[in-house]
Structure 1
Amino acid sequence: MTDHPSTGPADTTPTDGDTARRLLGRRALLAGAGGAATLAATGLVSGSGAVARPVAGLPAATAPTPLALLRRMISFDTQNFGEGGKTRAHAQWLRGVWDAAGVRSEIIPTPQPDNVHLIARIKGTTSARPLLLLGHSDVVPVERENWSVDPFAAVVKGGEIYGRGALDMKGANAASIAGLLRHVQEGHRFERDIIVLTDCDEEAGSYGSGWLAEKHWDKLDAGMVLTEGGWFLAQSNGTTPMLVTVTRQDKVYFNLDLYASGTATHSSKPIPDNAIVSLSRAVADIGDDLAPVHLTKVTREYFAALARATDDRRFANAIRLMLGTRSTKVRERAAALVVRYSDYPYLHSALLRTTTAFVIEDAGYKENVIPSEAHVRVNCRGIPGGEKPRDFVARLRRTLRGKDIEVRLGAPEGVSEADYLDQLDETWATAPASLDTPLYDAIERAAKRTYPKAVFSPALFEAGTSLGPWRERGIPGYGVYPYVIDNDQLIGMHGNDERIYVEALERGTDFMYRVFDGFRA
């Protein structure tokens, strides 16, 4: 038992925002320099009192800048090592931000200490089903020794802001919340409720969106959901917007465990029957063997848009060849050219096939003992409508036949492999979110207004999100990371020196402002 029961009341702990509101009141927040003072009191702006850059043609607002929000978000160490992150301090601060803007919010504790969700709700003018904005506050762990800066200091240098979560996804949260607050500060009303869920346990843990939906669905019931996902890609110069995407489908996530066995013996007399050597050979074989290319309606539309968007003629021609051929051999060769010519090769390779990533390896326990077993975990992501996970697993087992490697599907505890493959089949067959919704229309309009020279397209997300509870109920969910990135920044996601451009964050806030503008009353 813990002191944070799942069925307990919402957190009512006083926050810095509560104090600021009592001392200065909401009017001060809305009144020029007084508003800036209020924001400074809640830790939202720098010492210069900087305020949000307004959208062209709109009046200036005193909403916090996205950079100020993001720097504060990064400063909270919400690392999730696999059992959930400690998000309470972050949630209490953000609750103060909502309080200062006059928006009601509540903290939902989970059974794990200091692991909480935060839900804010901006009331609309009609009973239309709400729009839910879903963003996670937990982040993956850091390897501090491999960072060039403190990963929680939110250092700005060379026009980029560094920090764990800068890209995934505190940056998206900052842009979205800054855009919403700008509307609130300007006195705008929305034609439906807008719910902002800042959840925990997205990266791992037992109390994420699934747990929250089971316990508090009445707080989350919505008609559409927007979360992390689609990438805003740049031309070869790394900054000019090229392709703006919104994801309507995630790849299918599953794990495999590979085991090799050998003879345990004294390390002074090595023998050929070595588990580590056998496993290493198997890993090398799989690592060199790309899964076949599978194009679906969703990925065909994406790559066709990419061919129109790029200013690299070789890249565009390779894409068109890949899309136009009926020959499997020609398609594979063209796909190899697509990846070679792409400025985002790892992203585009992942959108073409089932991927395998070797993520955890363990073997041995003492330096003078050759162990009898070695293990590696393989994280896999399949394309919905492409190669079925069961077919991929069967093909992998054929590849490793005769190598004395056992392949186990990483099914949840108590679930058989057969039943888990059936579950994966259902996920694989889930239809992408509809393109005929007010949210998709708002995203498309915002993209064309904010990035008029870029091509807009729906897409497949190569990773996963917290959208499961809504998708299970047939509620359409979409994803965007609302800032233009280059390939080095993309590699920094879950890696070292994670960062995004400050200017891209500001422009991404304009984009999110315009998305919400589509729901003005």
Structure 2
Amino acid sequence: MYLRSVLFSLCLVIAVPASAQKVETADVAQVKEILKRSVGFRTVEGQGQVPAYAAYLASVLKEGGFADSEITITPMGETATLVARWPGTGNAKPIVLLGHMDVVAAKAEDWERDPFTAVEENGYVFGRGAEDNKYDVSMMVATLAQMRRDGFKPERTLILALTGDEETEMATTRALAQQLKGAEMVLNGDGGGGLLGPDGQPVFYGLQGGEKTYADFEIAFTSPGGHSSAPTGDNAIQHLAAALQRVGAYDFPPRSNELTRASLMAASEQVGGEMGAAMARFAKDPADTAAADLISTRPEFIGQVRTTCVATMVDAGHAPNALPQRATANVNCRIFPGVSVESVKAKLTELVADKEAQITVLGDPTGSDASPLRPDVMAAVTKAVHARYPDVAVVPSMSAGATDSYHFRAAGVSSYGVSSLFIRAEDSFAHGLNERVPVAGIGPSLEHWRSLLRDLAQ
């Protein structure tokens, strides 16, 4: 989840009455059991357990009243997707509830507990995927089953779309994004969420409305090589070093969108001082390059105002007493929404300024624009959050990395990270050791999703 990657406190408070129907103790117990069983499926790449996990989640939905014909599990290699449709009573475009079933690998010998056996201890459920993303997957599945069982009638069709390789290739994501590109919007349980302070009190809630494009570029040079005792002017390592120096010295031009302007303006008062003033100036005038440059001196803020490219890996030479025959570097770019991968490659080519360089885009990066801050979404999310924590700040945010929303935005579907999880920074171990989530949050998380669906599906 990417909320914790942007921990500076932005602040956008919208006054909306807070109300939500309280869940029953039995509901909480059921969801906790779903979460624990979910952790038990070893849905790591290559293990082939995603289809089995999808079948289990489908069984939960069927117990809630979903028909077999409304649920589709589609194998894709060793993984799969799950799509469940709850037909609405009206003709408006559907809402997609998005999440992913796969998890990153975990070495059991490094954990204090078996990462694929859920353990409830000291008020937490421990296990790989407990936070990323099986917590909100469990909440969404349980909410849909319970609301259908209770007789709720959505006007909009609700579509649960669970992917199977978000942590790796996102091939299932791309497939579902194309299949569901006619949707009105996406509510993603793998983005956004709430931050608690060390004392357990709420700090803010982040609503993810955009993501930067992740792209890796390889810069490669080749040379004839030879004996190191007879150096020549053609040295692949020296060519590469000079090229990386030029890339590292370049600042991409400042960029902004509705999302970052709102975020920076909200943050300016809390940050204060010269930096806060620069944030406010840039939010009002995106042409203020001096303000953008000052903001860019802080690593936690630079990603909000421009594309960034940085060398992350190098590989060169083959022997300590030989001239290098090849030298390569990986340059990782986080590209501002609306900026094309091709234009960044062109800029890198210009900066490298060496006709012998080979610059290659690795993988298949896809760009996407930020989603508009829809008033109905902002109001519904704020209402759901304030039902738990009245008056807590609801913050629009742009992630530096990518979730499944990335491909839906690229397909033209506005997508919003609206995770129901509130967690302390010191308890957030997604992708790390001893991953866990607080049990006390389960009831409020169910209320969060019920409130969102009641408000947005009508």
What TM bracket, shorter-length normalisation? 0.7 to 0.9
CA–CA distance in structure 2, aligned partners of residues 328 and 520 of structure 1: 42
Give CA deviations for 1:153-204 in whole Å, capped at 9, x if unaligned: 3445565544433333222212322333443454433333322122223334
Instruction: Supply the AA of the counterpart residue of 1:109.
Output: T
For the 8 Å contact 2:268–2:277, the answer to whether it is kept is: yes
The change in CA–CA distance for 1:499 and 1:283 in structure 2 (over 3 A counts) is farther
- Pairing of 1:129-208 with structure 2 (within 5 A): 129-142=93-106, 147=111, 149-156=113-120, 159-205=123-169, 207-208=171-172
Per the alignment, do residues 293 and 220 of structure 1 end up closer, same or farther by CA in structure 2, a change over 3 Å counting? closer
1:444 aligned onto 2:382: yes
The amino acid of 1:253's aligned partner reads Y
Amino acid at match of 1:172: D
Question: What is the root-mean-square deviation in Å for CA atoms of aligned residues?
Answer: 4.2
Aligned to 1:482: 420
Higher relative contact order (CA 8 A, sep 6+): 2
- In the aligned structure 2, how far is the partner of 1:459 from the partner of 1:224? 17
Q: Residues 87 and 476 (structure 1 numbering): CA distance in 2 closer, same or farther, change over 3 Å?
A: same
* 2:371 paired with 1:432: yes
1:67-106 equivalences under 5 Å are: 67-80=32-45, 86-105=49-68, 106=71
Distance 2:323 2:122 in 1: 49
- 8 Å contact 1:381–1:462 — kept in the other structure? yes
Question: So what's the TM-score if we normalise by structure 1?
Answer: 0.68
Match of 2:399 among 450, 458, 461: 461
Alpha-carbon shift at residue 223 of structure 1 (Å) = 2.8
Task: Please give the secondary structure, in 2, of the residue aligned with 1:183.
Answer: helix
C-alpha separation between the residues in 2 aligned to 1:126 and 1:280? 61
CA distance in 2, matches of 1:300, 1:358: 28
SS at match of 1:129: coil
CA distance in 1, matches of 2:230, 2:67: 67
SS in 1 for 2:132: coil
Question: 1:123: Cα distance to partner?
Answer: 3.8
Once the 2 structures are TM-superposed, how far is the Cα of residue 435 of structure 1 from its aligned partner?
0.9
**Structure-2 separation of matches of 1:260 and 1:59:** 64
Q: Which residue of 2 aligns with 1:296?
A: 257
Name the residue aligned to 2:448. 511
Q: Is the 8 Å Cα contact of residues 260 and 406 (structure 1) preserved in structure 2?
A: yes
Q: CA deviation at 1:152?
A: 2.5
Query: SS of the counterpart of 2:259?
Result: helix
Inter-CA distance 68–239: structure 2 relative to 1 (3 Å threshold): same
Deviation at 1:499, TM superposition (A): 4.1
- Counterpart selection for 1:410 from 354, 359, 362: 362
Query: What residue is the counterpart of 2:5 in the other structure?
Result: none
SS in 1 for 2:387: helix
Give the partner amino acid of 2:35: L
Partner of 2:16: none
Give % identity.
Answer: 25
Q: Deviations over 1:96-154 (max 9, x none)?
A: 22222222353433352x42222223343444433221211122334666555543334
| 1:378 aligned onto 2:331 | yes
What amino acid does structure 2 have at the position aligned with 1:103? F
Displacement of 1:456: 1.9
The alpha-carbon distance between structure 1 residues 366 and 322, as it changes in their structure 2 partners (threshold 3 A), is same
Query: Could you tell me how far apart the structure 1 residues matched to 2:51 and 2:406 are?
Result: 24
Is the 1:448–1:456 Cα contact (8 Å) retained in structure 2?
no
What one-letter code is carried by the residue in structure 2 that aligns with 1:102?
Answer: G
Q: For the Cα contact (< 8 Å) 2:174–2:407, is it kept in 1? A: yes
Separation in 2 of the partners of 1:62 and 1:187? 16
Measure, in 2, the Cα distance between the counterparts of 1:169 and 1:394: 36
One-letter amino acid of the counterpart of residue 305, structure 1: A
Contact between 1:227 and 1:477, CA under 8 Å: does it hold in 2?
A: yes
Partner of 2:157, secondary structure, is strand
Equivalent-residue separation in structure 2 for 1:292 and 1:148 (angstroms): 46
1:285-330 Cα deviation digits (max 9, x unpaired): 756866554332220112223346x5x6557556435545764234
Q: TM-score by structure 2 length?
A: 0.76
Distance in 2 between the 1:125 and 1:378 partners?
Answer: 50
Q: Which moved more, 1:169-178 or 1:158-167?
A: 158-167
CA contact under 8 A between 2:222 and 2:326: conserved in structure 1?
A: yes
Shift of residue 398, structure 1, vs aligned partner: 4.5
| Compared CA separation, residues 204 and 277, structure 1 to 2 (3 A) | same
Structure 2: gaps (5+ residues): 1-19
Instruction: State how 1:302-451 maps to structure 2 within 5 Å.
Output: 302-307=263-268, 310=270, 313=272, 319-320=279-280, 323=283, 327-337=288-298, 339=299, 345=300, 348-356=301-309, 372-385=325-338, 389-401=341-353, 405-410=357-362, 427=367, 430=369, 432-433=371-372, 435-437=374-376, 439=377, 441-451=379-389
Instruction: Tell me the SS of whatever aligns to 1:168.
Output: coil
Matched residue type, 1:372: Q
Quick one: which amino acid aligns to residue 131 of structure 2? L
Q: 1:476, CA displacement in angstroms? A: 2.9
Note the C-alpha offset of 1:263. Answer: 5.2
- Contact in 1 for aligned 2:158/2:457 (Cα 8 Å): no
The farther-off stretch of 226-235 and 87-96 is 226-235
Q: Which amino acid aligns with 1:295?
A: S
